[in-house]
Amino acid sequence: MTEQAAVRVLVYSDDSTVRERVRLALGRRPAKDLPLIDYTECATPPAVIRAVDAGGFDLVVLDGEAVPAGGLGICRQLKDEVFECPPVLVLTGRPQDDWLAAWSRADAAVPHPLDPAALAATAARLLRERLADVAVRS
């Protein structure tokens, strides 16, 4: 069996503990059938925009509660401005904020407090879809 190249995941939050929780929840791979994850962390909105503009990410995880700019607004900007934007998973303040995730055009949302199993399952689904889409385009 050939080993797949690592998937690239960007994690944005101004709070390093949120970024760490995401990394711990997803681990080295969120599911056995997926390749290892290569993480990029961003703590500021300009860093996120620059990184996603440069390309190469398979999943972007944005903290909707980050300051000074929340991940929901950044998600909408990315979806509007980045050609073939990678899937975006937003972390919302609470389950009732799903409408904000829909407004932001996020591909999925997981509420705070983060449930590691739910976060890993959601990320795994988005990564599988992304890898299948990339394979079809190749």
pLDDT digits (tens, 9 = 90+) for 34-60: 999 999 999 999 999 999 999 999 999
Q: Name the domain count of the chain.
A: 1
pLDDT of residue 1: 36
Q: Determine, yes or no, domain membership for 37.
A: yes
- Other C-beta atoms lying within 10 Å of the C-beta of residue 96: 9
Residue 105 falls inside a structural domain: yes
Q: Print the domain residue range for 22.
A: 7-137
Using alpha carbons, select from 107, 55, 64, 42 the residue that is nearest to residue 82.
55
Asked if residue 1 belongs to a domain, the reply is no
Q: Tell me the per-residue pLDDT of 93-102, one tens digit each, with 9 for 90 and over.
A: 998 999 999 9
- Percent above pLDDT 90 for the chain: 91
Q: What is the pLDDT of residue 2?
A: 44
Calculate the alpha carbon distances from 134 to 73, 87, 116 in Å: 26, 12, 26
Query: Which CATH number belongs to the domain containing residue 82 in this structure?
Result: 3.40.50.2300
In a domain, 56, yes or no: yes
In a domain, 32, yes or no: yes
Question: Model confidence at 4, in pLDDT bands (50, 70, 90)?
Answer: confident
